Amino acid sequence: MSKTLTPRQREILKFISQHIDQHGFPPTRAELSKHFGFRSPNAAESHLRALDGKGVIQLERGRSRGISLTPLAGAHLPEPPRMELPLVGRVAAGSPVLAQENVEDALRVDPALFRPRPHYLLRVEGMSMRDAGILDGDLLAVHRTPEARDGQIVVARIEDEVTVKRFRRDGHRVQLLAENPDFAPIEVDLRHQALAIEGLGVGVIRHRLDA
């Protein structure tokens, strides 16, 4: 649970981050004060203590420029072009796909490889998409969106179950098609059953080939 920052604290944090980018080291209290127009270095000190208390920075006592950003800071900063994608394994029933408990790892794969840009990788279970070249254990790159068009490969949630299928819609009747003759299509009537599109499959990574 990342505690929320005040708007002012966000500005301070942003400046610290920028200063590190530009100079290679964090600012002093005086430099912070100069930038924000504080007449007292204590204004900066107080902000730093607050940011430290909220866990987004870490202060080292007695050392000049003893400020470092913690991983928590990332959540409050205009995010730098991400180089990692979270890997989601089995999705616990009822939890959001990207809930902490579902995230197994972060893989260093450039999201720019895929279009549209994926938000996470989902480990595929089962062979229902075999003929689309998506096999058991493959990682599906998923772009989060609730919209899907006919023929797209979607990550869908039906009654708390998350599944990967090809999408087809006809009015309030939706078909989720497997790409494997051994699996029957799933038919959903939107008037009677809940169906949520979690996202679109935009790519596949297979990180082991069996002999």
Near DNA by CB under 7 A, which window of 29-37, 78-86, 129-137, 200-208?
29-37
The number of residues that bind a second copy (CB under 8 A) is 44
Q: How far is CA 165 from CA 118, 151, 177, in A?
A: 17, 10, 6
Residue among 53, 96, 133, 185 that touches a second copy (CB under 8 A):
133
Q: How far is CA 146 from CA 45, 117, 200, in A?
A: 45, 15, 9
Q: What is the smallest separation between the CB atom of 107 and a second copy, expressed in angstroms?
A: 6
Binding site partner of 29, from a second copy, DNA, none, Cβ cut-off 5-8 A by kind? DNA
Phi then psi for residue 106, to 5 deg, are -125, 125
Q: What is the smallest separation between the CB atom of 199 and a second copy, expressed in angstroms?
A: 12
- Nearest CA-CA partner of 123 in 210, 211, 185, 208: 208
Q: Does 151 bind DNA (CB under 7 A)?
A: no
Max Cα–Cα distance, the chain, nearest Å: 74
Chain positions contacting a second copy, by CB under 8 A: 20, 23-26, 28, 58, 60, 64-69, 83, 107-110, 112-115, 130, 132-135, 138, 149-153, 201-209, 211
